[in-house]
Amino acid sequence: MKWLETDTANCPVGRTLDLVGEKWSLLIVRDAFNGVRRFDEFRRHIGLSEAVLADRLRKLVAAGILRAEPYREPGSRTRYEYRLTAKGVDLWPVLLALKQWGDTHTPDPAGPVLDIHHTDCGAPVRVVVRCEGEDRAVLTPREVTARPGPGARPAPR
């Protein structure tokens, strides 16, 4: 079966985009990686309306990407901080890849907004596709073969 003969209804890229493919959702996750936790902080930093932010946070919590942890400041009602779950942390290389692509293809003339470096040695960090074989080679798209997997179904006619 070739790619064009494959049904894409169960495509993992499509399923992922259903959860985080909307711009605001990924920006919320980006901010969560950078220490933003509270509703008002997200709203101020990203510039979202309260309704859109509440909707996106609710969806990210329902998807298991963020978890809502209650807190209460003296004299105030209970509110929530939003923290990445393990599922959310797994989006880290996706966000880094988007940042890397943006820095290369849509750069700010002043330079990157955020520099990401290895804490131990100080070297810049890059997202790469690496072979799981013995040589652990970094690969380009031309060095990879994609073929239908066990979940592939014939496309409807």
Instruction: Assess if residue 149 is contained within a domain.
Output: no
Number of domains in the chain: 1
Instruction: Assess if residue 30 is contained within a domain.
Output: yes
**What is the CATH classification number for the domain harbouring 109?**
1.10.10.10
**Is the pLDDT at 154 greater than 90, yes or no?**
no
Which residue has 């690969």 as its token pair? Answer: 139
Instruction: Assess if residue 35 is contained within a domain.
Output: yes
Instruction: Assess if residue 62 is contained within a domain.
Output: yes
In the chain, what are the helix, strand and coil shares in percent, each to the nearest 5? 40, 10, 45
Q: Supply φ then ψ for residue 84, to 5 degrees.
A: -65, 140
**Is the pLDDT at 3 greater than 80, yes or no?**
no
Higher pLDDT: 1 or 69? It is 69
- Tell me how far apart the terminal alpha carbons of the chain are, to the nearest angstrom: 14
Instruction: Assess if residue 128 is contained within a domain.
Output: yes
**Is the pLDDT at 43 greater than 90, yes or no?**
yes
Q: From the CB of residue 110, how many other CB atoms can be counted at a distance below 10 Å?
A: 6
Strand ranges, E, within the chain: 66-71, 79-84
Instruction: Assess if residue 154 is contained within a domain.
Output: no
Q: Is 112 helix (H, G, I), strand (E, B) or coil?
A: coil
Between CA 119 and CA 27, with CA 38 as vertex, the angle to 5 degrees is 65
**pLDDT tens-digit readout, 98-149:** 999 999 999 999 999 999 999 999 999 999 999 999 999 999 999 999 888 8
Q: What is the residue-averaged pLDDT of the chain?
A: 94
What the block records as the tokens of 154 is 């014939």
Mean pLDDT of 81-97: 97
Radius of gyration over alpha carbons of the chain, in Å?
Answer: 19
Instruction: Assess if residue 156 is contained within a domain.
Output: no
* Alpha-carbon gap, residue 130 to 22, rounded angstroms: 28
Domain that holds residue 63: 3-143
Looking at the whole model, is its pTM more than 0.85? yes
* Alpha-carbon gap, residue 8 to 4, rounded angstroms: 9
Instruction: Assess if residue 148 is contained within a domain.
Output: no
